Structure 1
Amino acid sequence: MWGGGVAWSPDIDEYVDLAVWLMRMCGAINAAVAQCLRVAGSCVGGMGTAVAYPSNDAVLAGQGLGVAEYIVIGAGPAGLAAAGFIAKAGSRVAVFEGRPKPENVFGSYPVVLNARGLSALESLDPTLMAKAQEIGMAVKELHIVPDNKTVAKVPTYGTCIMRDQTAHLLLEAAEAQENISFYWEHKLSSIDFQTKTCTFELPDGSQKTFSAERLVAADGNRSRVRRFCEEHVADFSADADPWGFQLRFMNSKGVPGQTEVNPDVHFVLGDKGYVCQQPNGEWSISLRVLPDSDEEFITSDQATDENVQKLKEYVQTYAKFAADNLLDDEAYRKWYDCKAFDGVVVKCSCLNPAGWICIIGDAAHAVQPATGEGINSGLEDAAVLGEMLKEHPEDPFAAFDQRQRPNAHALQKLALQAKDRVTKPPPRTQAVNLMVTIGLAMAKKLHIIEGTREDFTIGEKAATAGIKSYDELVQMDERQRSKLLPVATALAKIFRIPKEHPATQTQA
């Protein structure tokens, strides 16, 4: 109001208090309103005398409430990339992570950034892709080696890098942005879906509450955000199927001077595990563990002489090249210090529950290691979110859901297929899958098909012919296999390959 040409300002604080209340109720949209009120208060209080009022964050800090335009839950590669794209679009973002800031990048596990993941890094910042390729190792071939027999050599395109090395590159880039804030050791404890506020628990037991216009959930395969959405958002649901197996690792520097095992090659040990060299020069040998059926020497945490000897014999049986050239006694014994870990395969009914939340990465579509798509699909999600922020600023999360939901559901199909290959499928299923794989290889060699699903994920086709969406890959794979499956199934019946495992038949 104006009166007699004199600026009216004594009750501006009442407007500030009102703005704070609105922000509590409606989230960060009203932060802009409060700022406008303060600017107006400065102007009308002035005509030569500026009135200084505290910032939104300062006022809300006094009320125990923090504000951000965007909140990202999870500081893994997907979350950090998402924060980078949001900041690039000009918005303020606060990143929350329940764990401390990581220090040892080699304490994680090796991953392969394929054409999809590298393209996502490049779209955020070309220097990120260049740095990843510089500190990582080029992967030139993938050898399939079941039972010590090399049955296939697949030309590949990708960069082997530690998962936390990728996160570290993204973190360095994010920390250089003024509009990104980080909150380490802030564990999400609750979400108020009405007021769009998140409450976090700190290491000392205290709590802090933040309000945001929008929230990006990148908190992994056992996402708390996803669980809270299941509990409180109507018509939202999620499936989380266990992998059905666990993984354990051995690391070794290898036998000095060995040249038998090429570091440019990664090795798939059939359904038993995976071997590759890490960027620090150490070799990583991961083995599948079936807790309910494997022998004690595989599942135990006791490095007894008997267990170590049996483990050596096991590796000789399934990965002789690793036993002879890469592993020593210390590596075998450290196996028993490595805790086995597992995961789940996730499918969400939608990716934008409640409208103001967007679920990405493993929180949206966790896969399992055999797909090789975990980190790559998460980085792609972040890149797509960046596109939607530009193309659909009025509702980027709805646009993201429309674009990525079919791909997330396709990923689940790929993950479940990979799970079946790792968890000992029945003999007939194994035989049918093998015959179909051989048939596809022949069709590719005869130029009947352009390439297989693998050629457009880990293979060179993704780099030369273009990246296909996961939905496109699943549809292509189903078309290709539809002609071969009936023939392979008929042959399996003719040769009387058992439908079930012998032990199952005996029990029946």
Structure 2
Amino acid sequence: MSPEVSTRMSAPRAVVVGAGPVGCLAAQVLTRRGYTVQVYEKRPHYVEQGLRYDGRTINLSLSPRGVEALDGHCDRAALDDLVVPIGSRVRHEPDGRIAAAGYGRADWQNLSIDRNDLNLLLMRSAGPDVRFTFGTECTGVDFAARRVTFADGQGQESEVAYDLLVGADGTHSVVRGRLAEQGLTQSRQRQTGVEYREVTLRPEPGNERMTPTAIHVWPRDGFFMVGLPNRDGSLRCTLVLPREGEPTFADLATEEELRAFLRRNFPDAADSYRPVDRGPSGAPVSPISVVTCAPVVHGDSVVLLGDAAHTVAPFLGQGVNLGLEDCAALARLLQKWPDEQGTALAEFQRERVPEHEAAAALSLANYDELNGTGPRPAASGTAPLPTLVNFVSSSYREALDMYSSRDRRTPAAADGAAADRRVTTT
């Protein structure tokens, strides 16, 4: 037997359920910790099929937290080719006024990126040691025997043994569901009472109201729209409406009704609207829910990451950053406890769940500002909530403490405060 084969046979086996950005990053950090890694994804391999994973093409806002978690796990030049730097927020008021505000320093920027572009980059960066299996759904887990069952598109089932099972399978996580069914975790999914759909704007070049390096926010009384820039100069917007009352998406069943709605409520955006080609039904409408879960580990062999552990509302753009930080924390703790996986998972539980809870609270806190019913941020000498979360604080818990106490330090006072204390991968 060759040394290479012997090493592979003795290496711990990690099974990752879910090949989204978090699952792909988790696979990378585990291979670096010496695991053999298999990733299973229920959707088809859209690189080969020429498909996107679903009808949604939401942009993500990568904050410095998320970028640091990616450090060393993808080609930075390749990442830079996919992103649009965001250095400010432009608020479009109902009376037609616009107000632009930077984050506090010229080098404080978030990055706008298509979710599918990030997913592909991380998948391609995983390397030959990560095995991907697509079109295969997790159907069951025997936690005592450490075996997980999968079914392919033809219904053929197979069992896979694991030493570490990573549930990175999103809001509707099967791994989390199986844990909850057996009383091994407590999970709660709550609806926020609002829904969203994609709206694409293609402003004419030189449109001063549609700055191509800013996040655009249209707050209204009880609803809102947020737009992130694309590399082609367009804005991929998320229109958020209540599920009940007025207006709702039931009132916007046709393109004509949507155009009329935009003209009434977002007149400076209406002329730039372009229909999204998603087939006869157009862009899908989806509810926004919040998922909480504790514990996010089971014994010394199961861990939930990303939306499988914590689906936060998207009102602050933190979901992907929180999930990528989960991967960075897991990598750091497995390195700290190289021969004690259970100890590493227990420490992950203690460290990350308070962060998940704080991020969820902060995301909901930003909702009132976005829908126009809450106070305007950034009184004199204070930092607005997005600046507080993305650039000033060293953790979500610290950001929540500062926000709750209204101790929003100015960017000058907080200059570089968090740079050396954030979680990074190795």
Q: Report the TM-score when normalising by structure 1.
A: 0.70
Q: Distance in 2 between matches of 1:333 and 1:195?
A: 43
Q: Distance in 1 between matches of 2:330 and 2:158?
A: 27
RMSD: 3.0
Structure 1 residue aligned with 2:30: 86
- Is the alpha carbon distance of 1:160 and 1:470 closer, same or farther for their aligned partners in structure 2, counting shifts above 3 Å? same
Higher relative contact order (CA 8 A, sep 6+): 2
1:73 and 1:217 in contact (8 A); partners too: yes
Q: Distance in 2 between matches of 1:282 and 1:152?
A: 18
1:105 and 1:168 in contact (8 A); partners too: no
Residue 63 (structure 2) pairs with residue 114 (structure 1): yes
1:472-491 equivalences under 5 Å are 472-480=398-406
2:241 and 2:247 in contact (8 A); partners too: no
1:452 and 1:477 in contact (8 A); partners too: no
Query: Which one of 293, 307, 331 corresponds to residue 386 of structure 1?
Result: 331
Q: Of the two, which has the highest radius of gyration?
A: 1
2:195 and 2:287 in contact (8 A); partners too: yes
Secondary structure of 1:78's counterpart equals helix
Give, in angstroms, the shift of residue 149 of structure 1. 3.5
Structure 2 residue aligned with 1:36: none
Comparing 224-233 with 413-422, greater Cα deviation is found at: 413-422
- Is the alpha carbon distance of 1:68 and 1:355 closer, same or farther for their aligned partners in structure 2, counting shifts above 3 Å? closer
Amino acid at match of 1:475: D
Structure 2 residue aligned with 1:327: 273
2:88 and 2:100 in contact (8 A); partners too: no
1:128 and 1:170 in contact (8 A); partners too: no
Residue 194 (structure 2) pairs with residue 240 (structure 1): no
Give, in angstroms, the shift of residue 260 of structure 1. 4.4
2:168 and 2:304 in contact (8 A); partners too: yes
Residue 199 (structure 2) pairs with residue 250 (structure 1): yes
Query: Which one of 147, 153, 157 corresponds to residue 101 of structure 2?
Result: 153
Give, in angstroms, the shift of residue 198 of structure 1. 0.5
1:244 and 1:290 in contact (8 A); partners too: yes
- Is the alpha carbon distance of 1:259 and 1:413 closer, same or farther for their aligned partners in structure 2, counting shifts above 3 Å? closer
Structure 2 residue aligned with 1:269: 218
2:291 and 2:312 in contact (8 A); partners too: yes
Give, in angstroms, the shift of residue 415 of structure 1. 3.2
Structure 2 residue aligned with 1:441: 379
Unaligned segments of structure 2, at least 5 residues: 409-426
1:27-426 equivalences under 5 Å are 69-103=13-47, 104=51, 108-122=57-71, 124-125=72-73, 127-147=74-94, 148-151=96-99, 153-155=101-103, 157-174=109-126, 176-178=127-129, 180-234=130-184, 236-255=185-204, 258=207, 260-270=209-219, 271-295=223-247, 298-299=249-250, 302-303=253-254, 308=256, 310-324=257-271, 326-328=272-274, 330=275, 337-393=282-338, 394-395=340-341, 396-419=344-367
Comparing 103-112 with 91-100, greater Cα deviation is found at: 103-112
- Is the alpha carbon distance of 1:113 and 1:105 closer, same or farther for their aligned partners in structure 2, counting shifts above 3 Å? farther
Structure 2 residue aligned with 1:3: none
Unaligned segments of structure 1, at least 5 residues: 1-38, 43-51, 58-66, 425-429, 445-450, 483-508
Give, in angstroms, the shift of residue 356 of structure 1. 1.4
Share of identical aligned residues, percent?
Answer: 23
Give, in angstroms, the shift of residue 354 of structure 1. 3.6
Q: Report the TM-score when normalising by structure 2.
A: 0.82
Amino acid at match of 2:347: A
Secondary structure of 2:309's counterpart equals helix
Amino acid at match of 1:478: S
Matched positions, count: 389
Secondary structure of 2:347's counterpart equals helix
> Greater share of strand residues, 1 or 2?
2
Give, in angstroms, the shift of residue 241 of structure 1. 1.1
- Is the alpha carbon distance of 1:85 and 1:268 closer, same or farther for their aligned partners in structure 2, counting shifts above 3 Å? same
Secondary structure of 1:292's counterpart equals coil
Q: Distance in 2 between matches of 1:203 and 1:269?
A: 43
Amino acid at match of 1:238: S
Give, in angstroms, the shift of residue 295 of structure 1. 4.5
1:300 and 1:336 in contact (8 A); partners too: no
Q: Distance in 1 between matches of 2:172 and 2:93?
A: 32
1:121 and 1:128 in contact (8 A); partners too: no
